[in-house]
Amino acid sequence: MGKTTLAQVIASQLGLEIIPEIARQLCKSMGYERIGEIPDQEGFKHQVLSLQIETEEHLVNFVSDRSTIDCWVLWQRWNICTAMTYDTESYYELARKQSTKYTRIIYIPPLFVPQEDRFRWTNLDYQKQIDRLVRMTLYEWGLLERTCIVQSAKLEDRVKEVSTWLTNR
């Protein structure tokens, strides 16, 4: 049990709405099982970021399964061999600007191999790349002060760790 379960438990404890993983929902609403099946990848990435921001702005207080930080990190990873463009800079600025509104960020690094669900990538090298990009983004965007980097592998311990961190903030 990973990020989604922890987000659900924390949202319930705090009495906040949870924003589910936007990319997964959008992909399914478009009739695809996997992101890689979507023909317009760039358009999809923009749709995910726009919908994430729109949902966050509508709710104001929330727990989100993913965030604009994730949008940017995945943009970087998926476009790893593409030169920086004006489109990339625009995407970066939208994601970064929205992230400045986050009061608390909970980051769960890869502590175990995620279960295959035919949607996410479970390759360990990929997981390490994403972890490195998340940590670099949190640092570059000045978000480390408001970030809890979860250390516990068991759900009960994660809940306690995050609850303690939130209480002490």
Q: Is the pLDDT of residue 153 over 80?
A: yes
C-alpha radius of gyration, the chain, whole number: 16
Angle between helices 68-78 and 124-140 (to 10 degrees): 120
Confidence of residue 74 (pLDDT cuts 50, 70, 90): confident
Confidence of residue 78 (pLDDT cuts 50, 70, 90): confident
Q: Which residues contact 125 (CB under 8 A, 6 or more apart)?
A: none
Torsions phi, psi for 34 (to 5 deg):
-130, 145
> What H or E segment, with its residue span, contains residue 42?
helix 41-59
Question: Which tops the pLDDT comparison, 123 or 14?
Answer: 14
Confidence of residue 117 (pLDDT cuts 50, 70, 90): low
Q: Is the pLDDT of residue 60 over 80?
A: yes
Q: Is the pLDDT of residue 112 over 90?
A: no
Domains in the chain and their CATH numbers?
3-164 (3.40.50)
How far, in Å, are 8, 144, 153, 157 from residue 20 at the CA level?
9, 23, 22, 22
Q: Which residues contact 3 (CB under 8 A, 6 or more apart)?
A: 65, 108
Q: Is the pLDDT of residue 3 over 90?
A: no
